[in-house]
Amino acid sequence: MADVNFKDSDFEAEVLKSEVPVVVDFWAQWCAPCRIVSPIIEELAKDYEGKVKVGKLNVDENPQVSQTYNVMSIPSIIIFKEGQPVKILIGAQAKENFKRAIDEVLSS
Partner 1 sequence: MENKTYDVIIIGSGPAGLTAALYTTRANLKTLVIAGVKWGGQLMLTTLVENYPGFPEGIDGPVLMENMKKQAERFGTEILYQDFTQGNFDPPAGGPFKVSTTDGKTYEGRSVIIATGADTKWLKVPGEDKLIGRGVSSCAPCDAPFFKRKNVVVVGGGDSAMEEALVLIKFASSITLVHRREEFRASEIMQDRVKKNPKIKILFNTEVKEVLGENNVTGVRLFNNKTNKESEMKVDGVFVAIGHIPNSQKFQGIDIDGGGFIKVQNHTKTNIEGVFVAGDVHDAEYKQAVTAAGFGSAAALEAERWLENR
Residues that bind partner 1 (CB under 8 A): 28, 30-33, 35-36, 59-60, 70-74, 76, 90-96
Q: How far is the CB of 2 from partner 1 (least distance, A)?
A: 24
The pairing of strands 53-58 and 5-6 is parallel
**Active site annotation includes 8:** no
- 53 close to 102: Cβ distance less than 8 angstroms: no
Asked if 19 is an active-site residue, the reply is no
Residue 97 C-beta: closest distance to partner 1, Å: 9
The residue annotated as part of the active site, out of 22, 23, 31, 57, is 31
Which CB, 5 or 97, lies closer to partner 1?
A: 97
If we measure between CA atoms, which residue out of 49, 39, 29 comes closest to residue 92? 39
